[in-house]
Structure 1
């Protein structure tokens, strides 16, 4: 079947091709509502689909937002092992689509330049999730397109920022465990990076221990990858090596769920033998047995806010920089036992 063209729509509506183009591109040309309605009806009748590539050349806009997902190390796989990313990306995609934009998801190594990618794809804006080297952020300043950073502690005031108070989150998760009379509390996380969310949550863990008069023990800090398998491996090692912990505070639900599985593999039970606290409140966390006690953050809301900020920045070049800290709460389920 022949593809409907701009000329076909113009002929059906009884207007010029230029008029149809003005309407499609939301031009400020003086066009009556009656003409707009006629053109819209013609497009519907002919099943006309605009050529986004041609529109991009005409308007110098691609209607594309780049979404950058971090990778743990150069050459490693994308971190889609953690459903935190699928939840936040689904939010970004939904709200971007509502304002007429599409998203382009990219994984970037810590040693990879992203500026070439932006130029090649003619991206209108970027959302970057996680921690990157300073050089990565310097690239955005050179191009001057709107950028929102999610879960970043980049100190440059030239970017929009969305995050939670991660230090407080780590503190409250640990305090909850200590309030249940656990004295040997381990900390299970991904690799700690300076000014990253994991490092902040670790600082909160240390603060809680200090307030309760408990000595910080490096042997109870377990760093791995932020994925299910790493949680399993570390939990199995805790049992195998009889490491003296009664509870574990994790920096991600996916690690906590892996740890529960690892303890089970070694014939141990959560919370009878070990208690576990997660972080994120992923959808799956309330479905597992036992239900996971965790720090609930508004993952979906982070994606929505990022798109809202970009939408305003694209409309108004002078839109002021936003630094938004989203509230969170501790969700109590069944994965922590109170000791006597």
Structure 2
């Protein structure tokens, strides 16, 4: 079937192409009956606006790029960690109601992104996670507005949405200490410099030191943020340590740990307690319900879109950073000892 063009709409109405274009864009005041005539023709013919052509004409694509981290080449992290599903849902919804579409890209550690951004004529980019200095330099050279989420860059060229992850790690560990636990395992993703796991580890260490509990290197377990790897690490914690509690730096890690401990018939929280981080929807549905450090993931995505739109439109001067509040969400996975 041949694609309907603006020329077809003009032929159907008997109007010029310019008049039809003005009627669709609203850039010129036309008689209401003329606008209605164009709308009727569009509906009748099934005309769909050519976004690419409009982008060339206006130098605005109405596209926002979202970069999510890949921990290793070939990884499908966005599908493995529900956190990314939840924040992407928020970003997509909040972008759509502002007239933008979203292109999601997962970049491996050996890839750059800004060439694709220029080719797609992206209006703005939201970057989730921590990357190399070269990556950010490339983004900066592209001259495309950027907002960082959980990136912890000491670079005031970008606006950022983040948590106080050090405090979150501190709060989780202190909560376990207050429940009588002193042998607390730390189960996390890779401790990448400047990354969220490293920040949460800093909080974990701070709470232990404040409580007079030395950090035991044999209690530290970290790999990729992955359900299956978390299962293997949880088995090691049980078989190789005498820990009574585990601080998991992401709920998806806690889910893997709970799964493995259930298989091993280790009772939670009677034999070992677990606290997570994020308060994903799935934290409500596991057995037992997961006590976790809660963050408003929808608000994080919404704020990232708002800050990016303000930057793109150069309207209201937003703060350089926005810190999403956190709180402990108590369920049934931590016991007093």
**Aligned ranges 1:61-210 → 2 under 5 Å:** 61-210=60-209
Do the aligned partners of 1:72 and 1:79 also contact (CA within 8 Å) in 2?
A: no
Per the alignment, residue 21 of structure 1 pairs with 21
Say if 1:175 and 1:14 are closer, same or farther in 2 by CA, change over 3 A. Answer: farther
Aligned partners of 2:303, 2:24: CA distance in 1, in Å?
27
Q: 2:308 aligns with which of 307, 310, 321?
A: 310
Q: How big is each residue's C-alpha offset from its partner over 1:81-109, in whole Å with a ceiling of 9 and x where there is no partner? A: 00101111111111211122111111111
Aligned partners of 1:44, 1:95: CA distance in 2, in Å?
28
Report the secondary structure of 1:277's partner residue.
strand
Per the alignment, residue 10 of structure 1 pairs with 10
Deviation for aligned residue 1:262: 1.2
Gaps of 5+ in 2: none
Do the aligned partners of 1:236 and 1:265 also contact (CA within 8 Å) in 2?
A: no
Per the alignment, residue 43 of structure 2 pairs with 44
Do the aligned partners of 1:115 and 1:140 also contact (CA within 8 Å) in 2?
A: yes
Report the secondary structure of 1:110's partner residue.
coil
Per the alignment, residue 242 of structure 2 pairs with 244
Aligned partners of 1:2, 1:117: CA distance in 2, in Å?
30
Displaced runs of 4 or more, over 6 A = none
CA RMSD of aligned residues (A): 1.9
Aligned partners of 1:176, 1:35: CA distance in 2, in Å?
67
Aligned partners of 1:278, 1:4: CA distance in 2, in Å?
53
Report the secondary structure of 1:80's partner residue.
helix
Say if 1:289 and 1:88 are closer, same or farther in 2 by CA, change over 3 A. Answer: same
Aligned partners of 2:30, 2:310: CA distance in 1, in Å?
25
Deviation for aligned residue 1:321: 5.4
Instruction: Give the aligned length.
Output: 337
Deviation for aligned residue 1:338: 0.8
Say if 1:10 and 1:99 are closer, same or farther in 2 by CA, change over 3 A. Answer: farther
Q: How big is each residue's C-alpha offset from its partner over 1:244-288, in whole Å with a ceiling of 9 and x where there is no partner? A: 100011110000011011112222111111100000111111011
Per the normalisation by structure 2, the TM-score is: 0.94
Q: How big is each residue's C-alpha offset from its partner over 1:125-154, in whole Å with a ceiling of 9 and x where there is no partner? A: 111000001111111211111111001110
Q: 2:275 aligns with which of 264, 274, 277?
A: 277
Say if 1:283 and 1:320 are closer, same or farther in 2 by CA, change over 3 A. Answer: closer
Per the normalisation by structure 1, the TM-score is: 0.93
